[in-house]
């Protein structure tokens, strides 16, 4: 290529030295045009070959995760449509859902079973506790909440069913008439215990009766308003912990159990209800927790803030007191790693 350019430059130099000759100018122009065209065609061919290789690699990667060639082709095609990186669609739920939504919009007779199968194979059929919901498709069945009508009237509801286009909310123990109708905007508000409070607004598509229950049909949306329940992120954990406290007669007592969750501000541990009766722990008690995270031994003073029952266990929420900076940074590092692991757990869980 450089040699051809040198020849043309030399031809142009001679043309200038010998005076302007139309024939020489025409030769130079044609020569430059051929070179430019060759460069463009070569570049385009390289791009096409590169894209073909990327697509083949993508299809192979998708198959390795259990997808069929048809399922992989759908993800590749619609990733291009919504300008998402195809490989990230296999890795992360958010771009995946955007791609699937575009597929649904463009294909009125879409195969719902196929979509659910893809979602299941990639592990996108649920959101780990503590991670935010991406769309209303992520709301778990039987999630309870409130439907808020236009004039502020509140109705208790539960998610009765859902498909790829709609949510179906059961109006708990409610009978018509209702202060909303088809086409009206309503809000749904619900609390996800380990996450936060969510609210979304959508249009009522239908109200119908099924087995004596009144159901409100509402389209899916990505527009979820979220108020985080805690200032600090809390993650599930199962790590041995020693809990030390002083009994009423001043004796040092130890409990050996496991942490259930942790944040930089506090933690939760649980013990069997039968054992809890013997421990006599009360809100406001001073405790000392000793446990290991990231290979570091952490000893943290804490105060008992709440006591809850969870199945056969009694669980104790504590707030750390005077925890040193190094211990806090170790906990934060652990939480960040756990969050990243949960985000990527997606298709690796099998």
Task: Report the CATH number that the domain containing residue 296 is assigned in CATH.
Answer: 2.40.10.220
Average pLDDT over residues 145-166: 93
Burial label, 199 (beta-carbon count in 10 A; 0-12, 13-18, 19+): middle
Which two three-digit tokens encode residue 33?
A: 């045009």
Q: Are residues 210 and 288 in the same domain?
A: no
Tell me what pLDDT residue 169 has: 97
Q: What is the pLDDT of residues 171-205, one digit of tens each?
A: 999 999 999 999 999 999 999 877 788 999 999 99
127: in domain: no
270: in domain: yes
How would residue 40 be classed by pLDDT, with cut points 50, 70 and 90?
low
Tell me what pLDDT residue 48 has: 54
Tell me what pLDDT residue 227 has: 84
Q: HSE on the CB side for 153, CA within 13 Å?
A: 11
From the list 176, 146, 178, 177, the residue with the least C-alpha distance to 159 is 146
Give the domain extent around 322.
235-347
Q: Is the pLDDT of residue 30 over 50?
A: yes
Q: Are residues 203 and 272 in the same domain?
A: no
Question: What's the total number of domains in the chain?
Answer: 4
* Of 250 and 66, more confident: 66
Tell me what pLDDT residue 349 has: 42
Q: Are 236 and 130 in contact (CB under 8 A)?
A: yes
Q: Are residues 246 and 313 in the same domain?
A: yes
Q: Are residues 164 and 190 in the same domain?
A: yes
Which two three-digit tokens encode residue 274?
A: 């039968």
Q: Are 164 and 112 in contact (CB under 8 A)?
A: yes
Q: Are 251 and 227 in contact (CB under 8 A)?
A: no
Question: Which alpha helices (DSSP H) does 21-140 contain, by range?
Answer: 22-64, 69-81, 86-91, 93-106, 112-122
pTM listed for this prediction: 0.63
Q: Are residues 74 and 158 in the same domain?
A: no
Q: Whole-angstrom distance between the N-terminal and C-terminal Cα of the chain? A: 52
Q: Are residues 13 and 73 in the same domain?
A: no
Q: What is the mean pLDDT of the chain?
A: 84
| Neighbouring-strand partners of residue 190 | 198
Neighbours of 260 (CB within 10 A): 20
From the list 150, 156, 184, the residue with the least C-alpha distance to 169 is 156
Q: Are residues 187 and 173 in the same domain?
A: yes
From the list 184, 191, 206, the residue with the least C-alpha distance to 156 is 191
Q: Is the pLDDT of residue 270 over 50?
A: yes
Q: Are residues 98 and 43 in the same domain?
A: no
Q: Are residues 56 and 75 in the same domain?
A: no
Tell me what pLDDT residue 126 has: 81
Q: Is the pLDDT of residue 224 over 70?
A: yes
254: in domain: yes
Tell me whether strands 166-171 and 213-219 are parallel, antiparallel or unpaired.
antiparallel
Average pLDDT over residues 108-136: 87
Average pLDDT over residues 42-66: 75
Q: Are residues 291 and 194 in the same domain?
A: no
How would residue 64 be classed by pLDDT, with cut points 50, 70 and 90?
very high
How would residue 69 be classed by pLDDT, with cut points 50, 70 and 90?
very high
* Of 101 and 249, more confident: 101
């Amino acid at each position: 290529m450089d040699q051809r350019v040198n020849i043309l430059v030399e031809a142009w130099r001679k043309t200038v030295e010998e005076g302007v000759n139309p024939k020489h100018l025409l030769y130079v122009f044609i020569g430059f045009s051929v070179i430019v065209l060759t460069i463009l065609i070569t570049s385009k061919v390289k791009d096409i070959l590169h894209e073909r290789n990327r697509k083949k690699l993508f299809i192979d990667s998708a198959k390795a995760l259990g997808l069929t060639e048809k399922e992989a082709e759908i993800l590749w095609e619609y990733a291009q449509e919504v300008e998402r990186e195809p490989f990230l669609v296999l890795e992360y739920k958010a771009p995946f859902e955007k791609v699937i939504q575009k597929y649904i919009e463009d294909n009125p007779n879409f195969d719902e079973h196929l979509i659910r199968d893809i979602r299941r194979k990639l592990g996108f059929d649920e959101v780990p506790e503590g991670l935010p919901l991406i769309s209303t498709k992520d709301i778990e069945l039987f999630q309870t909440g409130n439907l808020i009508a236009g004039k502020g009237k509140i109705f208790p509801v539960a998610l009765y069913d859902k498909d790829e286009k709609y949510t179906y909310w059961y109006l708990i123990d409610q009978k018509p008439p209702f202060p909303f109708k088809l086409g009206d905007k309503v809000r749904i508000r619900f609390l996800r215990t380990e996450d936060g409070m969510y609210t979304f607004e959508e249009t009522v598509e239908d109200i119908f009766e099924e087995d004596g229950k009144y159901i409100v049909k509402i389209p899916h949306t990505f527009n979820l308003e979220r108020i985080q329940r805690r200032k600090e992120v809390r993650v599930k954990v199962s790590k041995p912990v020693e809990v030390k406290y002083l009994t009423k007669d001043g004796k040092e007592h130890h409990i050996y159990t496991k942490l259930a969750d942790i944040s930089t501000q506090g933690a939760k541990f649980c013990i069997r209800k039968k054992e809890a009766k013997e421990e006599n722990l009360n809100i406001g008690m001073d405790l000392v927790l000793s446990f290991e995270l990231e290979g570091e031994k952490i000893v943290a003073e804490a105060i008992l803030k709440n006591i809850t029952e969870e199945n056969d266990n009694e669980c104790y929420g504590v707030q750390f007191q005077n925890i040193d900076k190094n211990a806090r940074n170790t906990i934060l590092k652990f939480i960040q790693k756990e969050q990243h692991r949960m985000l990527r757990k997606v298709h690796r869980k099998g």
